[in-house]
Structures are given as structure tokens and as C-alpha cells.
A and B are shown apart, each in its own frame.
Chain A
């Protein structure tokens, strides 16, 4: 009956018949020379391969960044089902992230409270170059920060600000054993910031690459920064295996343009891949060869014991200047404003995706080492030696596509590259540099992702292309359309398109890991016994309301299906009320919510079993206001409600609280 919207059914019949007839003729005539047809499989076959029966589990967890929604979405592969949205750099009224007193500090920066950011690249922690399922890192592009998500709870547990950086795009990529998370600046800026004419770019602007040390506990600390020329550092990847001591950054705008970059930053034939020896950097820092630069930054850590985040403010950062540190940085000329830089599982091949080009340049780590030893330099930039292009080039992939952006790898010696302009994924062979297959995407993919595809151990069964443009792919939803993810089966010689599904926000990069690694680690509840929140209410008997001047602290519990207390009187206009709500449940998926009427500039709380969270409320009217549980918790969820009475201070209503008192 849906077709009635467009055409009456009777009118439709001849049109459909006509289309079928024409399509049939066309198919019959071009059956033998359809290149697209090679990868096509029947819809039924594709459906079977992505069908995860009700009650069954997906094979992989996929983490996709949300781009301008500042979040991470968790999907299952191959089904494409959405499991969870993890708020990271954006307030999330749905569960109170960034609204509850416990999580507000996670959004603190040297600029103050920032409720939004643009999250681009999720990166799983690694051990020996293999995703280990401990943490997921992700960058904030706009106000430079890196966040860490704990994959036991799937919650953000740390955000660290990066001073002297602007547009934290080439971030956060981990070294082989998650020793460091790197974060490079996309925008050249004056360092330290100062008031100078924009046109003085070449004199006054620089670009920093930051190295964040990750402790075994996961805690991040800004270890040091490298002061680089004011280019736009676009993406990065750490080496692995033999290249594990190195990190590679691409950059564009080596022209150092400050206006109309689409033209002015596209003039040079080659920009650079910066190869940085982070072991050397550590040595130079230890030798004290750094400069103390000013810079205020916040490190916000969520303490799992008190279930509360705290902000720690730091001053100053250690900065290494490459010209003073021989052997620290080398520039590799890379054609046509390279975007992604990707290292193959062996660690030998470094692929620079020249986004204005048809070709990919692949560099050899062995050749880079040789060129460094033999000093095969082509001059230097700001004291950084530029390696001879021909000396380090391993091969060129003549793709036949246009606009290569990103490359991932499988476990059979193949590489897969997205082409934004020609809208396709191209499969090619490492070593022979020959194209093996190509499949169109719908439309214009940015990143692509193979589970473990940027690690030493790709699980090369699926490939996901993350498309920027969807146009006619789904039912239209007005001018604003979703992005899409397209799932390919890459287990055979030819890629096979299985599924496409709309995504939340704008996924840039993604990561995936076998469910068998992550599932056993996932927590079911927060242990009430190890909850040391300062405002914890451990049992219903401990519930109370405490007044200190104009501040009122409500120690409240929730358990199926009531609050303690659920009647509160003696709150006055002018008070600030903090509802410290503890969910006493210790049963899997026994969540409760909390909301109170007229809570200006605020949201609700969602409380998982064993959690304590705090919602601030400044009553603005006299009266009796209901509060209730917002998560359909039980058969008597609708009965899970209470009242708070707000009086004028002149009325001297006594402070009382109770539950079940007639």
C-alpha cells in the first residue's frame, strides 16, 4: 500500500512491466562485459551472510566515530545492528552524560566547559600490535583533546586536552604496545598563541605533534611535543614490527597558505610524510634537550571507585625542536596532498594516499633506513632532512581511480583503498602493486575499516566502507540525510557487497574487534560493594536529606519499584538541591532513571545497577513537583514516582523525608 503515495497501483503495473522488459533486454545484451557484476552476489546469498538470527550474536564489535555528534557508535558485524552510543565529547541528555555532576568535569577544558566536539578517529589499544580490547581512544578535532573509553563499561573515563594544537585531526593513533597515543595538529597556529596578523603565517605559525604517554592503568599524560613547520598534519599511524619505534604523519599545505587553501595548498607537486622516531624522542627528552613551553591544559579522569570525574589542570609542556635533535624526524616527499598514511601488517610498507592523485605511493621502511644511513637527502626543511623520493619508494599503485584517501589491509597480503572522487574501493596486492578488484560504493567513501586492518593481525573477513554521501540510497528524510556504512565480504578473491546501513552522526574512521575478545570483558553491573561515591546511599536505611545553608543534599535510592525517600518537604525557593541517586539493584540490565520537573539547563539521570549519580536542581517556583523513574524498570514502573515540596523560606516548613509513611 506504500506505493499509493506515488502512483495508483493500476497505473504502476504497465510501468513496472515495461521496466522489467527493458532491464531484461539490457542484462541479456551486456551480461558478458559487466565489470560491476563480478562482485555481485544474489540478494538472498548476501542476506544469509549478514543474517544474525534473533538471540544470536554478531561476530565483531565495530566502533564508529560519530563525527560532529562527538560520540562513538557501537555496531555489530555482519548485521549492522546498532548496540550503543557512547557519549564522549558531547553532552548527552539521554543518560545525563555531561549533565550529571559526576561527568561534567570530563568536558572541562582550559576554555571552560565545552559541551560539543567533532570526534573523528577511534583507535583500539594494542598489545604487540594487536587490538587487545582494553580501551578505545578517540580524538576531539575542534578543541584538541583525546578521550579514552573503558571497554569493560563502554564509558568515557578520561579526556585530556592538547595545548598548542589546533584541529586535532592526525590523532589518536597508538604505538605497538600502546606506549603512546599520538596527536598532530591540523591547523598551523602561533605557538604559543599570540595576537599576530594572519598574513604573518610563515613567520609566526607552527604545528605541534603531541605524544601522550599511556600508563598501564590507562591514565594518559602529555609527555612531549615536537615543534614542526606550520603545515597541516592530516593523519598518522604508528609503525609495527621492525618499524615499531616510528610514527608516520602525513601533511598537506606545505605551501603554508592561510587563505583559499583549496587552491593555495594544492600548488606543490609533493607534500610530506613525516617519519618520527619516538624512541629517539624519548632519549632526547631524557637528556633534557627539550624546551619548556607555556600551555594550560586539562586532564579529566573518571575515578571508577568514586564514580566521579575530576579535572587536573597542568601548566607547560616539554617541546623538542627537530633541528636540535638529529635523527628525530625525516620528511618523505609524498605526491598530491596525502591524506591517510597506513602501515601494512609487516610494518615494512607505508602507504601515502595522495588525495588529489590517481596513484598511491608506497614507501619501504627498509629503504627509508638505508636512505637515512647513506644520507640520501634532498635538502631540508626547517632543519628536517628530506629523503630522496626515489630512494625510499617501494612502488606505485596505478589504480585507475581518483582521490585515494585511506588504506587498510587483510591477512593475505592485500591492501584495500578508498577512492573518494571515483567512489570505490580498490583491492591491490602488496609487492606487485597490481589492482586485483574494484567495487563501487554509494557514495564517496572516506575511511574504510577491516577488523584489525591497521594492526599486525587483520581479521580479513569483512570490510566496511564509510560513505559520506547517500543521496538516493534510503527513504528520503528531508534535506538532511544520513551517512552510510557498506559491508563487503573480502574472504574471497573478489569483494562482495553484502549490506549497507545508515550510521549515526558522520563516522570518519572505525575499528572492529572479534566479539570473542570483548564479550567476556564486558561488565554486567557496577558492584555496589566497591562503590565509594562520597554521596552513596548504601541501603534504604541510609537515605536522608541534609541541609547546609542554601544547599540541600538528597541521599536517595532506587530499587524496583520505589524511591527512598519519595516524599520530601522543607525545600525553599533559593535552595540548590542535589539529588544523589543510587541504584541499589545488582541485577543485569536493571536500570533506573531520575527526572524532576522544570529542571532548567539540565537533563535526566540514567543509573545502571550499583551506580550513584547526581542531578542538580534549582527550584524556581513554589509548589509540589513530581519526580519519577524514566527507565521502564518493572511492572510497577509507572508507580515509581515521588514528590518534592517547595515552599517560601518565610513559611518555615520543616525538612522531612519519608517513603511509605501514611
Chain B
């Protein structure tokens, strides 16, 4: 029984690693701006390594609109995170593969915890960039509204003058969440070597979910 649940944990860990690989191929976050002149909205996608839009010109068009209120140009070259985040993710994937090879409970847990911490830092970092763009305005901006700042929301909707900004996680964030959840699940699934007693006391017919409940109870 022990080998069976450990095999499940191993599969879960493999899933977590593969799910993380998908992060390279999908945007992490999207910000949609609606205005009377943009009934279809302009979309900006934030990826692990770049910023894109509906078309090649979305970023330029957002920058043109933003310059009236004195916001800086969003220039992907000026965001160092877009250079090193892909390597951080690569590191996480390598650690994940290592944990998968070791097949140890502590390895799964450490990986999942590390991933959670780094993920939280990334979101906080994104918030800081939003704050920076929204608050540091050119004092010579043509349109100045006293007390007004233009920080888009982290998640949700916000009205900014003529714009309605909607900010939402995208697929890559979902894959990151799945990776973390699978990592923790792998940890819970994987049997401690001192669990022998538990196995002896319970019949072999236990379902994996009830076994999980037992584990949590202990």
C-alpha cells in the first residue's frame, strides 16, 4: 500500500513540474482597458518574459493614451523581471524534477513551499510595478486631475477617468496554482516511513481520499 500511494505522489509531482513548464506558453495576467473610443477594449498580456497585446501595436496605443495623464511608457525592456523570471522558473522546474527523482516527502514539501513564496513575491512585485506606473506621473502632463492616480487593480475592476480597467489572472497563473497544489498534494500523499502502524491498523480497502483524511487527522 505504501508503494502505491508513493507512486501516486510521484505522478502528482510529475504533473506539477509539467504544469510549470506550460507557464512559458501562456500569459500570466491580463489588463483590459475599456473606453468610449475602445468599445472592444485594448488588452495587454503579461507573460513570464514579455508584455504583448491584442496586436503588435496595443502597447504603443496604451502608451499614447497614458501619456496625456503623464504616465511613463510601458517599456518591456525597462522591466528587468522579464529577463530573470524565466530563469527563476527554470530553477523551480529543475528543483521540481529533482524532488520528483528523490521521491521524498520533505522534498515535495520544500518545493511547494518555496514555489508558494516565490509566487507571492512575483505578485507583490507586479503590484509594485502597477503602483509605480500609476503614481509616478510627469508633472508636465497635459491632463492633471488633483489627487488622481492611475494604478490599475491587482485583481478586479477600477474606473480611471474615462477608462475602466479590468485586471485578471491568465492561464499561466492557473498553471502555477495547479503546480503548487499538486506539489502539496504530493506531499500529503507520500507516506512517512514511520507510517507502518497506520497501515497495519487499517484495512487495505481504504480509499485514497479517506486515507488522506486519516493522515490529516493524525
Binary interface encoding of chain A residues 523-541 relative to chain B, with 1 for a CB under 8 A from any of its CBs, else 0? 0010000000000000000
Smallest CB–CB gap between A561 and chain B, Å? 8
Q: How many residues of A contact B (CB 8 A)?
A: 11
> How many angstroms from the CA of A639 to the CA of B68 in the assembled complex?
12
Given contacts A635-B143, A636-B142, contact A587 B68 (CB under 8 A): no
B208 at the interface (CB under 8 A from A): no
Determine which of A560, A587, A636 lies in contact with B57 in the assembled complex, contact meaning CB atoms within 8 Å: A587
| Residues of A contacting B: mostly | loop
Closest chain B residue, CB of each to CB of A527 = B56
Determine which of B60, B68, B142, B143 lies in contact with A586 in the assembled complex, contact meaning CB atoms within 8 Å: B60
> How many angstroms from the CA of A585 to the CA of B64 in the assembled complex?
9
> How many angstroms from the CA of A586 to the CA of B68 in the assembled complex?
17
Determine which of B56, B60, B61, B68 lies in contact with A636 in the assembled complex, contact meaning CB atoms within 8 Å: B68
A465 at the interface (CB under 8 A from B): no
| Residues of chain A in range 529-569 having any CB-CB distance to chain B below 8 Å | 559-560
Question: Which chain B positions have C-beta within 8 A of A639?
Answer: 142
> How many angstroms from the CA of A586 to the CA of B64 in the assembled complex?
10
Closest chain B residue, CB of each to CB of A524 = B55
Binary interface encoding of chain B residues 39-68 relative to chain A, with 1 for a CB under 8 A from any of its CBs, else 0? 000000000000000001100110010001
Question: Which chain B positions have C-beta within 8 A of A590?
Answer: 61
> How many angstroms from the CA of A559 to the CA of B142 in the assembled complex?
15
Smallest CB–CB gap between A525 and chain B, Å? 8
Binary interface encoding of chain A residues 579-609 relative to chain B, with 1 for a CB under 8 A from any of its CBs, else 0? 0000001110010000000000000000000
Q: Are B61 and A587 in contact (CB under 8 A)?
A: yes
Closest chain B residue, CB of each to CB of A528 = B57
| Residues of chain B in range 97-153 having any CB-CB distance to chain A below 8 Å | 142-143
> How many angstroms from the CA of A585 to the CA of B56 in the assembled complex?
12
| Residues of chain A in range 314-331 having any CB-CB distance to chain B below 8 Å | none
Q: Are B64 and A587 in contact (CB under 8 A)?
A: yes
Question: Which chain B positions have C-beta within 8 A of A525?
Answer: 57
Binary interface encoding of chain A residues 618-662 relative to chain B, with 1 for a CB under 8 A from any of its CBs, else 0? 000000000000000011100100000000000000000000000
Question: Which chain B positions have C-beta within 8 A of A559?
Answer: 64
> How many angstroms from the CA of A586 to the CA of B56 in the assembled complex?
9
Closest chain B residue, CB of each to CB of A560 = B64
Determine which of B56, B61, B68 lies in contact with A635 in the assembled complex, contact meaning CB atoms within 8 Å: B68
Question: Which chain B positions have C-beta within 8 A of A587?
Answer: 57, 60-61, 64
Question: Which chain A positions have C-beta within 8 A of B142?
Answer: 635-636, 639
Smallest CB–CB gap between A657 and chain B, Å? 22
Question: Which chain B positions have C-beta within 8 A of A585?
Answer: 64
Write the residues of chain B forming the contact surface with A, with a CB cutoff of 8 angstroms. Answer: 56-57, 60-61, 64, 68, 142-143
Known interface pairs A586-B56, A586-B57, A587-B61; 9 further A-B residue pairs with C-beta atoms within 8 A, sorted by A's residue number:
A559-B64, A585-B64, A586-B60, A587-B57, A587-B60, A590-B61, A635-B142, A635-B143, A636-B142
Q: List 15 A-B contacts (CB under 8 A).
A: A525-B57, A559-B64, A560-B64, A585-B64, A586-B56, A586-B57, A586-B60, A587-B57, A587-B60, A587-B64, A590-B61, A635-B68, A635-B142, A635-B143, A639-B142
Per CB-CB distance, the 9 closest pairs between chain A and chain B, nearest first, are: A586-B57, A587-B61, A560-B64, A636-B142, A586-B60, A587-B57, A635-B68, A559-B64, A586-B61
